[in-house]
A and B are shown apart, each in its own frame.
Chain A
């Protein structure tokens, strides 16, 4: 089991009010799975993504990632876990605007302390995997939306993490380009990568072998993608 969430709660304090974003979520995800997390806005799916991505820690409950209990880790340890275990793919790409595609892809390896030569080689390899080897020295504003998202995917792949975590990866793309990205995900899945995809689009979730539906901080459905997404 790559991800094991047991009875995860996450409570925020907003002013004087307590917001219970997650109220006892338990999910297990195996290596090599492709899982969509689906739900309306306010369902807690973003909070769940942040917890899975180790950007946030649960108020209570246990989270085992690759056998390690990350629910009680301190900030530095979480930073290292994010660096090694997680490849983030964001809706708005989150590339550094002043850096070239290659430098952007190298970034996780920089923070891992990988030497310059090896870093470059791995980054080039990752850019090849998304078929962008001819755009390496372009800056983000010289690339199309689909190309930017592919750079972001290459950045997520470059660190060879155990989990690719995508947040509305097609949200800022037109449907044709979005389709391109979904195809890329299918390809990555077939190569054995573990993918967790957070989305509010049922059509996208239906393409995933498995989907988990959240509502008001609870898991309300968990099963094959088309069934859960289009129910």
Chain B
């Protein structure tokens, strides 16, 4: 007898047996379904989190390099970073003049300051002194008014461009343009409002105030290090650009050849690495919980299959007497288990997707599910049926036909 015939007959028997025990089938199916649903909901939420993080990274700029004294992800002695020489305006000019990969170069400095208007105070707002190129490097749009200009910088003007959330808080009912806000008790005229950008790793990008770089330096007349944002022509050039920048900066900073770099070149990927480190273990535990739930469903299947084999011992004896080979019996019972679990997997997939959607409605977590996840859910459930069906099926096939026929 061919495998095809085994398969057709096996499926027919499996379906008949399942429809004969509807309640049992439904309960077993629910067991697997819950497992798949849990796993998919967890995977969906994780995917959603990852997607939203990727979007956040995009807002940092996938094709940008950030030169600063300290790396974003710090390893080693903090005082070694602290004692590094500041990044000066001369180094900014060197980068501007020499880098062939840079499309835009923007220097900036920032600090947390108090910002107020008309009795409303905002504390610890990120105040950044920078140049017109900053908009391109950091990816800000101006929704009202204008961005900083070279003239603002040259004149050391007391003008400010404010982030969307600063504008919303200080000016709930009026346009901020032309208003005089106070930054660290000094008056600044608002000339522009930035479009909303959202958060990156919980840091609100819209609670910010931008002022001209020279104005900022005049306010903080001490020595302070610049950050240089370099937007590269395309993301593929990041590595080449980084190599080039290392050379430019080592020369400009006169770093001795024997010493390692005394500056850091950061990029969005480093945040991704940090993110993965932070969330990897958590995801692992969540996925493990999903798998355990599915395992419980699988044990449910095994249990019910063992009952089914016992109940149908005589039937197995009859089939064997009439010429069914062992593998035919094995296939019959495995198919039964696989059908139950695949149906459970399908139902669980639907519930899991709905679950992920509900989570994304009622919580700030975004949940997205890829088509491949659905296939994975159904396929995985079927595999659970296969694995947990093998043992009961083998037991059925290895029954002695004489004994099986005598079974009451």
Residues of A whose CB lies within 8 Å of any CB of B are 50, 53, 55-56, 75-76, 79-80, 82-84, 88, 90, 94-96, 98-99, 107-108, 110-113, 155, 159
Do A83 and B323 form a contact, CB below 8 Å, given A94-B318, A112-B1?
yes
Do A88 and B326 form a contact, CB below 8 Å, given A55-B401, A96-B315?
no
Query: Of residues A79, A82, A108, A113, which shows the largest number of chain B Cβ atoms within 10 Å of its Cβ?
Result: A79
A50 touches B402 (CB 8 A): yes
Do A75 and B325 form a contact, CB below 8 Å, given A96-B315, A113-B5?
yes
- Residue in A82, A90, A110 whose CB lies within 8 Å of B9: A110
> What are 20 contact pairs spanning A and B, CB under 8 A?
A55-B401, A56-B402, A79-B323, A79-B324, A82-B320, A84-B323, A88-B321, A88-B322, A94-B314, A94-B317, A95-B318, A98-B20, A107-B322, A110-B5, A110-B9, A111-B1, A111-B9, A111-B319, A111-B322, A155-B322
Query: Of residues A50, A82, A110, which shows the largest number of chain B Cβ atoms within 10 Å of its Cβ?
Result: A110
Shortest CB-to-CB span from A51 to chain B, Å, is 10
Give 20 new A-B contacts, CB below 8 A, not counting A107-B318, A107-B319: A50-B402, A56-B402, A75-B326, A79-B320, A82-B321, A82-B323, A83-B322, A94-B314, A94-B317, A94-B321, A94-B405, A96-B315, A98-B16, A98-B17, A107-B322, A108-B322, A108-B323, A112-B323, A113-B2, A155-B322
A80 touches B402 (CB 8 A): no
Q: Which residue of B lies closest to A158 (CB)?
A: B322
Q: Whole-angstrom distance between the alpha carbons of A177 and B125 in the complex?
A: 100
Residues of B close to A113: CB separation below 8 A: 1-2, 5
Q: Whole-angstrom distance between the alpha carbons of A85 and B194 in the complex?
A: 89
Shortest CB-to-CB span from A37 to chain B, Å, is 16
Answer whether residue B328 sits at the interface, using C-beta atoms and an 8 A cutoff. Answer: yes
Q: Whole-angstrom distance between the alpha carbons of A108 and B17 in the complex?
A: 19
Residues of A close to B320: CB separation below 8 A: 55, 79, 82
Residues of B close to A82: CB separation below 8 A: 320-323
Residues of B close to A80: CB separation below 8 A: 323, 325
B1-19 vs A, CB cutoff 8 Å, 1 = contact: the mask equals: 1100100010000001100
B5 touches A76 (CB 8 A): no
**Chain B, interface SS category:** helix
Shortest CB-to-CB span from A115 to chain B, Å, is 9
Q: Which residue of A lies closest to B4 (CB)?
A: A113
Q: Whole-angstrom distance between the alpha carbons of A159 and B319 in the complex?
A: 14
Residues of A close to B328: CB separation below 8 A: 111
Q: Whole-angstrom distance between the alpha carbons of A159 and B17 in the complex?
A: 25
Shortest CB-to-CB span from B328 to chain A, Å, is 7
Q: Whole-angstrom distance between the alpha carbons of A90 and B321 in the complex?
A: 11
Q: Which residue of A lies closest to B320 (CB)?
A: A79
Do A90 and B323 form a contact, CB below 8 Å, given A96-B315, A98-B16, A113-B2?
no
Q: Whole-angstrom distance between the alpha carbons of A94 and B321 in the complex?
A: 10
**5 tightest A-B CB contacts, nearest first:** A83-B323, A111-B323, A113-B1, A79-B325, A108-B322
Shortest CB-to-CB span from B9 to chain A, Å, is 5
Q: Whole-angstrom distance between the alpha carbons of A94 and B322 in the complex?
A: 11
Q: Whole-angstrom distance between the alpha carbons of A15 and B328 in the complex?
A: 31
Residues of A close to B1: CB separation below 8 A: 111-113
Q: Whole-angstrom distance between the alpha carbons of A83 and B328 in the complex?
A: 13
Q: Whole-angstrom distance between the alpha carbons of A94 and B318 in the complex?
A: 7
Q: Whole-angstrom distance between the alpha carbons of A229 and B151 in the complex?
A: 126
Q: Whole-angstrom distance between the alpha carbons of A83 and B326 in the complex?
A: 13
Q: Whole-angstrom distance between the alpha carbons of A182 and B26 in the complex?
A: 46
Shortest CB-to-CB span from A109 to chain B, Å, is 9
Chain B residues 94-113 with CB under 8 Å of chain A are none
Q: Whole-angstrom distance between the alpha carbons of A121 and B322 in the complex?
A: 19
Q: Which residue of B lies closest to A167 (CB)?
A: B405
Residues of B close to A112: CB separation below 8 A: 1, 323
B294-327 vs A, CB cutoff 8 Å, 1 = contact: the mask equals: 0000000000000000000011011111111110
Shortest CB-to-CB span from A3 to chain B, Å, is 18
Q: Whole-angstrom distance between the alpha carbons of A53 and B9 in the complex?
A: 24
Chain B residues 31-46 with CB under 8 Å of chain A are none
Q: Which residue of A lies closest to B408 (CB)?
A: A92
Q: Whole-angstrom distance between the alpha carbons of A192 and B302 in the complex?
A: 49
Q: Which residue of B lies closest to A155 (CB)?
A: B322
Q: Which residue of B lies closest to A115 (CB)?
A: B5
- Residue in B16, B326, B401, B402 whose CB lies within 8 Å of A76: B326
Residues of B close to A159: CB separation below 8 A: 323
Residues of B close to A88: CB separation below 8 A: 321-322
Residues of B close to A55: CB separation below 8 A: 320-321, 401-402, 405
